[in-house]
A and B are shown apart, each in its own frame.
Chain A
């Protein structure tokens, strides 16, 4: 398992825990009288699960298991591959902080953080597809 995959997989486990903590907190908000922003965690909980856990696990495992690109560079250039990990996680972390914050106290700062998060995750996705496309082949 290449080092990048190990990072992807470890992070994906972490996001699984965070996703379930966020949904639990959302469910506990009313009964326990938790602060209002906890109620705005819905979309964050969904995306911690589908992006942080599922998509990140797929990114890491596919990077490891898909047919090799070439004998000299089996998984292509590692530098852009590391950038996909960094961008996806930076984007997701920004969203976790900014989305509930923006829902309760919108400002140009929280709005800007959401835009930055959108761009980072989008770039990670596009980059990952460009990187993996040539590896979808017979052998």
Chain B
């Protein structure tokens, strides 16, 4: 498993912990166990689990197992670009999460910045992975 995948998957596991914890607190509060800042936890729960956990884990695993680019060199596409994609994705997750809970005038701008980072991450990742969507080198 290459280093960018290891870091993306570890980050996804951390988001799973954060997101499940927020979800459990929300659900327990729904069941009457204390009151919680719903407006804060609800958007964070969704951001952490949809983007931080499911999207990031899928990206990390795809970078690990998709067919390689070249038989001669053990390369999985541009590692620098994939690091950039993972970094932007994580900055985006936190900006979008903070944006969702920030006070009024800031709210929209921070969320927008976060979403832009996430979109850029997705574009860069798709660009890196595109040539790897093909038959395995052994089958060619």
A contact residues vs B (CB 8 Å cutoff): 50, 54-55, 58, 62, 65-67, 95, 98-99, 102, 106, 108, 110-115, 117-119, 121-122, 125-126, 128-129, 132-133, 136-139
Across-interface contacts of B21 in A (CB, < 8 A): 122
Q: Cβ of A136 and Cβ of B54 under 8 Å apart?
A: no
Q: Is B96 at the interface (CB under 8 A from chain A)? A: no
Name B's interface SS.
helix
Contact with A along B4-28 (1 / 0, CB 8 A): 0010011001001100110111111
- Give the bracket for the number of chain B residues in contact with chain A: 20 to 34
Across-interface contacts of A55 in B (CB, < 8 A): 53-54
* Residue of B9, B20, B28 with most partner-chain A CB within 10 A: B20
Across-interface contacts of B54 in A (CB, < 8 A): 50, 54-55, 58
A115 to B2 Cα, complex, angstroms: 40
Q: Among the listed B6, B20, B25, B50, which residue makes an inter-chain contact with A136, where contact means beta carbons less than 8 Å apart?
A: B6
Across-interface contacts of B49 in A (CB, < 8 A): 50
Name A's interface SS.
helix
Task: Report the 6 A-B pairs with minimum CB-CB distance, sorted nearest first.
Answer: A114-B31, A125-B20, A122-B24, A118-B27, A111-B32, A118-B24
A138 to B65 Cα, complex, angstroms: 12
Q: Is B95 at the interface (CB under 8 A from chain A)? A: no
